[in-house]
Every structure is written in C-alpha cells, then in structure tokens.
Amino acid sequence: MKRLHKSSSQPYRIKVMTVSAVRSPVQIRPVRESDAPLFRNWRGEPSIRRFQPLRDLPLSQIRDDIATQSIDDLYRSRGDRFQWVIEVDDRAAGWITLVVGNWEHGLCETGFALSTAFQGQGVMPHALTLLLPELCLRSTRERVEARCAVRNQASRRVLEKVGFRKEGVLRGYFLLRGKRVDHYLYALLRDDYL
C-alpha cells in the first residue's frame, strides 16, 4: 500500500509495506541540507564510484546544491535537479536523482546509488517504484531516461525490473578513470507506466 504522508518535519514522505527481499520497510524522502555529509561519504565509496565518474566535492558545495532543491518545484514545472534519500528501516541507504532536461517536452533523467551495505537486497527497485508514480501521475514528466554502464549488470536489472526499456548504446558516453565507457540508454514513458 502506497500512501503520501505529509508532516511538518518530513514533508512528502512516502511509506510502503515491506518487500519480501528486504526485511525492513523502504522509504524515500526529499533530500535535506543535513544530508550533505551522507552524500559526501557515499560519493567516496568504491562500490558507488565503480561505474560513476563522481568527483570529490567539498561539503559546502554539496550543501549549496541541496539548498537549491525544492520538491514542490517538481509539481510547478520549474527547477532542474531533485534528489531523494532512500531509507531502509529509517537508516539512510542511498539516493535517487532526477534531472529535468526539458520542461516543455516533459523530459528528465534519473540516476541512483546505494551504499555498499544496502546493495543486492532489492532496495533500489522498491525505492524507484515509490518515485515512479509521483513522476508519471503527479507531475508533467512524459519520458524518464536512465543510463548505466554496459558492464553494470545490477543497475540494468533494476531498470528492467521497474519497467524501463533499453533503447540503445551510447558509445564512449563517460570518461571513467581515463577510459571511455559505453552506456545503455533506458527510458520509461508515461504511457508505459499507465
């Protein structure tokens, strides 16, 4: 059962029942400035950096980036970057990012990462299934894209499990540790979701 819950301390918290592969409930909530140290630590984890070209950023820059985000803007068709923290049993486990490419055409891209301790437990598909109804039913998003390294089998499985379709290969898409890395392009249309 999915239900949108609003409280003054944690607005727009989405709660769900437990998934069988995960022993505790998975939730997502909008990022807060106080999450900046978590993001800095996560960005440094080797398992997260394995397929992503994440740079070391000062805590102040991460905090400033978070301060510019307002989930309310997603529903007002403004802003360009939104992030949610994934929680498992009230413990921060990772994040989902949404970058709007074009408001007029309803285009956006999502990316995600889980801390090493939470990987391989079915958390990410569950977290994405919490966000997708928000994007497809409550916002003006028509197309959600995702990209993942061809060698990143775990992310490919996550995307396919939640309904994204593989559309092609982006050759040499990222520079990762001095080498160009091919990526798959996935997409989910609002019509696919409905």
Q: Which domains, ranges and CATH numbers included, belong to the chain?
A: 3-193 (3.40.630.30)
User: Residue 38 has what pLDDT?
Assistant: 94
- Whole-angstrom distance, CA of residue 93 vs CA of residue 151: 23
DSSP symbol at 17: P
Token duo for residue 78:
């403004």
pLDDT in tens, 121-178: 999 999 999 999 888 888 888 899 999 999 999 999 999 999 999 999 999 998 999 9
pLDDT in tens, 15-72: 333 344 444 489 999 999 999 999 999 999 998 988 888 888 889 999 999 999 998 8
Q: Is the pTM of this model over 0.85?
A: no
Is 97 strand, coil or helix? strand
CA 92 to the chain's CA centroid: 13
- Whole-angstrom distance, CA of residue 10 vs CA of residue 93: 17
Burial of 39 (0-12, 13-18, 19+ CB in 10 A): buried
User: Residue 161 has what pLDDT?
Assistant: 96
Greatest CA separation found in the chain?
46
With cut-offs at 50, 70 and 90, classify the pLDDT of residue 4.
Answer: very low
Beta strands in the chain (DSSP E): 3-5, 13-15, 26-30, 81-88, 91-102, 107-114, 143-149, 165-176, 179-189
User: 10 Å Cβ neighbour count for 48?
Assistant: 19
